[in-house]
Amino acid sequence: MEIYIITAGDYSDYHIVSVWETKEKAEEVVAELNKSDRGLFADIEVHEMNSEIPTMPMFSVIMSKDGQVIAMQNRGIHEHKREMIIKWIHQPAGSERVSYFMRAKDKDVAVKIANERRAQQIASDEWDAEHGVVVV
């Protein structure tokens, strides 16, 4: 049986808002939460009842627009269920960089995933968008 878990927040603020039996009801609740000014960025996660917690670690990779890895960290096995989170970090004098948070089997794969996403952002003109958070 699939269940629909509504979550919000990131890392230490990550939390379950509610759990639903139907996708339709979960989508209604998420739409209502995300249109409010509470800034929850609610999301739906679909899980099988009695399933195990993911075992791949979360990594953070900070990368510059030219592909230079500024920092990389293995954050360990984490309760966060999303596959990737992107946060823009704007620095003075145009030295933009982006933080990517994702599950990967090791640091080399994490850097490869971040670099591919960076290339996609540049190609689709997402890189120069306003700073913020994108959940993928």
Residues 86 and 34 in one domain: no
Residues 129 and 78 in one domain: yes
Residue 107 within any structural domain of the chain: yes
Residues 65 and 36 in one domain: no
Query: Based on the structure, what is the number of domains in the chain?
Result: 2
Residues 72 and 130 in one domain: yes
Residues 76 and 122 in one domain: yes
Q: Coil, strand, or helix at residue 75?
A: coil
Residues 42 and 65 in one domain: no
Residue 24 predicted with pLDDT over 90: yes
Residue 53 within any structural domain of the chain: no
Residue 29 within any structural domain of the chain: yes
Residues 67 and 131 in one domain: yes
The stretch 32-61 carries a mean pLDDT of 77
Q: How far apart are CA 119 and CA 90, in angstroms?
A: 18
pTM of the model: 0.52
Indicate the pLDDT class of residue 55, thresholds 50, 70 and 90.
Answer: low
Residues 126 and 66 in one domain: yes
Indicate the pLDDT class of residue 69, thresholds 50, 70 and 90.
Answer: very high
Residue pair 79/73 in contact by the 8 Å Cβ criterion: no
Residues 97 and 123 in one domain: yes
Residues 85 and 125 in one domain: yes
Indicate the pLDDT class of residue 38, thresholds 50, 70 and 90.
Answer: low
Residue 125 within any structural domain of the chain: yes
**How many Cα atoms within 13 Å fall on the side-chain side of residue 18?**
14
Which residue segment(s) compose the domain that 19 sits in?
A: 2-48
Residues 35 and 96 in one domain: no
Residues 23 and 90 in one domain: no
